[in-house]
Amino acid sequence: MLTAPYEISNEYNITELLEHFDSNYIFDIINDKIENNDWARINPDPNVVVSFEENFKLMTENYPGDAQNIRAIREQVYSDVISILCEKFNLQFNEADQNIDLYTAAFYLYDFLVCNRNSIMINFFTSFIVNNKESLSKFLNLEDYKRSKDSASAYGKMIYDDHKYGLISANMSKVINHIATIDISLLNIFQSVYNSPELIAFLDNMVADKGNFFKDYYCSILEQPEALPIVITNIRLSLQKLVGGISPSNIQEIMSYGGAFNNE
């Protein structure tokens, strides 16, 4: 595994530095990060696009006479990043829009697909549950669980004022499997995880889904038995953080339900 492939030694001259940023070099970095992206990780890795930009700024400061050549290589690097990511995730970059800043595009695309992938996916499922609580409850007939005496249901009743959230949390595996059957567009995901209308519009204009991103990449977690329990636990924790609340009087009682969240 590459540890810090985007850190360039200042022992090289400018020609050697720029030659280092070829397409194979960029592919190796991006592919390595994708292949070693652990589902258990929530805190994002550093964004390599930012590291590239820092290198280009440093080179421009140290070699101002080569600024034009540095800018050309910089644009090619970000174009390569975008192409590699789009190819890997079956997306189409909007090459017709000449106003798209390639650095900004590469930064957000890498953040969405690689370095911040896990937390963005968790946020999507959490947001979807909150925004569709009633329909999820009705479809899955979770009202049938209201009288359940199992530890997960009891735990949920103490965490959530709205019992439906507790029931959804206790049956999260069923909920996620149901959500996986719904047609959800890439734009739906952007709208669920980003607050800025300007950013949502930028991303929607920047890339188009050539396949079915949601089912191919988010729902594929259902086919990974080692990763699925981690993802379900993180969705539960995210839901609890967003809409749950623990009163001090319940803390001791909750401690007795340590096995409440056995993943299904």
Q: Are residues 122 and 223 in the same domain?
A: yes
Domain containing 198 equals 118-255
Q: Quick check: is 222 in a domain?
A: yes
Note if the pTM is more than 0.75: yes
Give the pLDDT mean for 129-154. 73
Give the pLDDT mean for 151-172. 77
Secondary structure of residue 91 in the 3-state scheme: strand
Q: 207 pairs with which residues across the strands? A: 93
Domain end residue (candidates: 57, 85, 115): 115
For 94-134, the pLDDT digits (tens) are 999 999 999 999 999 999 999 999 999 999 999 999 999 99
Q: Are residues 131 and 242 in the same domain?
A: yes
Give the pLDDT mean for 134-139. 88
Helical (H) or strand (E) element with 144: none
User: Checking phi first, is residue 147 left (phi over 0); if not, alpha (psi -120 to 50) or beta?
Assistant: alpha
Q: Are 81 and 115 in contact (CB under 8 A)?
A: no
Total of domains in the chain: 2
User: At 227, is the pLDDT very low, low, confident or very high (cuts 50, 70, 90)?
Assistant: confident
User: At 160, is the pLDDT very low, low, confident or very high (cuts 50, 70, 90)?
Assistant: confident
For 41-83, the pLDDT digits (tens) are 777 789 999 999 999 999 999 999 999 999 999 999 999 999 9
Q: Quick check: is 154 in a domain?
A: yes
Query: In degrees rounded to 5, what are phi and psi of residue 72?
Result: -65, -45
